[in-house]
Structure 1
Amino acid sequence: MRGLCIGLLLLAWLYPASGRADPFAAPPALARGINITAWFRFPASRDPAALGAYLSDQALADLRATGFDFVRLAVDPQVVDGPAQRSVLIAAIRRIQRQGLTVVVSPHPDDWRLETSPADRERLSAFWKTLAAALRPLDPAHTVPEVLNEPVFTNDPAGWAALQHRLLADIRHALPHATVVLTGQDWGSIGGLLALPPEDDPNVIYSFHFYDPAELTSLAAYRPGLDRTAVARLPFPVDDRMRCDLTADRSADNATRELMRYYCGLGWDASRIAAPIDRAAAWGRAHHVRLLAGEFGASADLNPAARLAWLHTVSDTLAKRDIGWALWGYDDVMGLGVSRPPARRPRLDSSVLTALGMTPPM
């Protein structure tokens, strides 16, 4: 009995109730999430009062009632570089958590060049040293730091892996038992994930983003000068190549027509969506790690039939492989498209929610 008491006292000393995580607690369940994209990323004002008022408790409660279990909160480090703004961020995380939602805190630096700038790499390290300490008092079961959103590091997976390893150490110094989200380079793509050597850390989740095919989901935003109205008519799934080609022929623009016919020729359908996701799932199984699709979404300008079918196909494919997902985003046209700043109780797009297998709040 004396030994048991000493052991319990030792555990209490090592893991006090003030915020250090229970090392034996299960990692947070991140099944169905929503990205809040603009609150701490493109705020209209950095004044603490205005910043804190971006989203109401009722709006957050509606997200939980709809069936979301976590929020991925995009944070520009420069927006919260002052103690007052950082306090607003911590208060916002607490408010989200009070609604029963886990919070993934994801840095989205706007103009940093981490691939080429040692100074920017130091800025990111300093950001995490400061923020990880600020996150320490929060509920560790519902607070998940993510190292970085969409690292680029083109053709340099080793460079990114080395930087991520260092940043993970920065986070671990203050949050030794937190679940941390890691990702591969190449904009957090599946290809970047497959090139990533896994960390020797049992309490991490590996994220990838999925917007394939970009010709459909972003209306080929990577190609300037196209006829977006024509591209928005593309079908999904492509179950009739001839009909898809006829849709392409309705564009008077040669470049647009060629791109649309290229899309049609690839025959995008559920099986083609599943193929890269299955490669990611196989990587996860091989390394005995959990995966998260931290972003996916499709432009609201895409025709509704194709958009809703794509959203349903991707979310269903991920769920069947036990991969959690987060829609991009709550306040973005690729997702629910809530206006910025949101109303006190925004109306959520019921067609999008239904496609995701969720129930819109009454």
Structure 2
Amino acid sequence: MRRLWVGLLLLAWLCPAPGRAGPPAPASPPTLTRGINITAWFRFPASRDPAALGAYLSDQALADLRATGFDFVRLAVDPEVIDGVAQRQVLIAAIRRIQRRGLAVVVSPHPHNWRLETDPADRERLLAFWNTLAAALRPLDPARTVPEVLNEPVFANDPAGWATLQHLLLAEIRHLLPHATVVLTGQDWGSIGGLLALPPEDDPNVIYSFHFYDPTELTSLAAYRPGLDRNAVARLPFPVDDRVRCDLTAERSADAATRDLMRYYCDFGWDASRIAAPIDRAAAWARAHHARLLAGEFGASAALNPAARLAWLNAVSETLAKRDIGWALWGYDDVMGLGVSRPPARRPRLDSAVLTALGMTPPM
């Protein structure tokens, strides 16, 4: 197995970039302007039984997404959930149903507990996944079927290692789906920093994705720090237009570590202009490389106070739109976005406040 992996890496090094010959673009490029991540359909499903898996989301629920103004869905897929033929057929049928409602589909692998950075066997599993799934996607409309190489690759301090693997994955996908637009990303969890460290592929039919949750002290209530007073963190303001008031909010917590973190947030004066700064760096990278961008994920916890949450969602979506960067909210069935219950009702009520903050109109 190790010998096979070394051989594949050598092949990737010896071969020209997969797009050098110029893969033909689809007749109509996919429209990826305003999207929604469906997070639990093929990732952590309650059942892998094909009948239950296929029934997760109704046609009416999909129609409501289109009526609201979404033009694409980013479908999170755990490779282990679709490792059976029957489950893979359910996925293809689900993509067809989504597309019949006028939505393009980004298919994004979200492997669980894989160690791609250190385990050659996992890297081979990912290559095998795309070999199988790309073949299954071939009959679908390439203008509305968009493979994404991988969700949030880590590869800490190893952008070259990730670039080598991504090049190999792109070649595998491109061989089977020559007309598809493929979504690529940087390492470091698909961050803007990871994007900036990424050498672009010589392929004209790719889109580069980044994820945006800055500042995480606000959007995830500093989930990376255990033991904090989350109720206090949830009171943080956005924008920070009054530093004294922001500090007073921090003082209301009895926990010293929480107060320090909240003051740290206040020190940065987070507002729309601070949101725009890293996004502008991504946009500059894209201009320099004549590349297209997609903000594949952004969102903020429903536990955050509504005023700050809605203002942050509005600031991010407006910043992206002004720079012609498409986006996808995380997620439809996740508390960082619309928070629809799992499994969704036949016609779930969509959070009108969130949709309004995103500049969209809830369906009647």
Work out whether the TM-score is over 0.5.
yes
2:228 corresponds to: 226
Match status 1:101 vs 2:103: yes
Q: 1:137 aligns with which of 124, 136, 139?
A: 139
1:196 corresponds to: 198
How many residue pairs get aligned? The number is 342
Give 1:23 shift.
3.9
User: What's the CA shift string for 1:98-126, capped at 9, x where partnerless?
Assistant: 00000000000011000000000000000
Give 1:26 shift.
3.4
Aligned equivalents of 2:141, 2:45: Cα separation in 1: 26
Give the SS at the match of 2:38. Answer: strand
Aligned equivalents of 2:142, 2:203: Cα separation in 1: 17
Letter matched to residue 107 of structure 2: V
> Where do 1:168-247 residues align within 5 Å?
168-247=170-249
Match status 1:277 vs 2:288: no
Aligned equivalents of 2:268, 2:108: Cα separation in 1: 34
> Where do 1:344-359 residues align within 5 Å?
344-359=346-361
Q: 1:343 aligns with which of 338, 342, 345?
A: 345
2:305 corresponds to: 303
1:13 corresponds to: none
Give 1:22 shift.
7.0
Aligned equivalents of 1:36, 1:135: Cα separation in 2: 19
Give 1:140 shift.
1.1
Matched-pair identity in %? 89
Letter matched to residue 139 of structure 2: P
Contact 2:37 2:331 in 1 (8 A): yes
TM-score, normalised relative to structure 2: 0.93
Give the SS at the match of 1:263. Answer: helix
Letter matched to residue 213 of structure 1: P
* Contiguous gaps of at least 5 residues in structure 2: 1-22
User: What's the CA shift string for 1:85-109, capped at 9, x where partnerless?
Assistant: 0000000000000000000000000
> Where do 1:1-362 residues align within 5 Å?
23=25, 25-362=27-364
Aligned equivalents of 1:129, 1:346: Cα separation in 2: 36
Letter matched to residue 333 of structure 2: D
Letter matched to residue 194 of structure 1: L
2:15 corresponds to: none
Aligned equivalents of 1:321, 1:347: Cα separation in 2: 31
Aligned equivalents of 1:130, 1:115: Cα separation in 2: 22
Letter matched to residue 135 of structure 2: A
Aligned equivalents of 1:360, 1:23: Cα separation in 2: 34
Aligned equivalents of 2:154, 2:24: Cα separation in 1: 34
Aligned equivalents of 1:24, 1:147: Cα separation in 2: 18
Letter matched to residue 178 of structure 2: P
Q: Which runs of 4+ in 1 moved over 3 A?
A: 21-24
Letter matched to residue 83 of structure 1: V
User: What's the CA shift string for 1:22-65, capped at 9, x where partnerless?
Assistant: 74623212000000000000100000000000000000000000
Aligned equivalents of 1:283, 1:25: Cα separation in 2: 27
TM-score, normalised relative to structure 1: 0.94
Aligned equivalents of 2:27, 2:320: Cα separation in 1: 25
2:14 corresponds to: none
Aligned equivalents of 1:22, 1:55: Cα separation in 2: 33
**RMSD of Structure 2 on Structure 1 (CA):** 0.8
Letter matched to residue 288 of structure 1: H
Contact 2:186 2:197 in 1 (8 A): yes
Letter matched to residue 343 of structure 2: P
Aligned equivalents of 1:164, 1:225: Cα separation in 2: 37
Aligned equivalents of 1:22, 1:345: Cα separation in 2: 39
Aligned equivalents of 2:62, 2:28: Cα separation in 1: 24
Give the SS at the match of 2:115. Answer: coil
Aligned equivalents of 1:82, 1:24: Cα separation in 2: 30
User: What's the CA shift string for 1:294-338, capped at 9, x where partnerless?
Assistant: 000000000000000000000000000000000000000000000
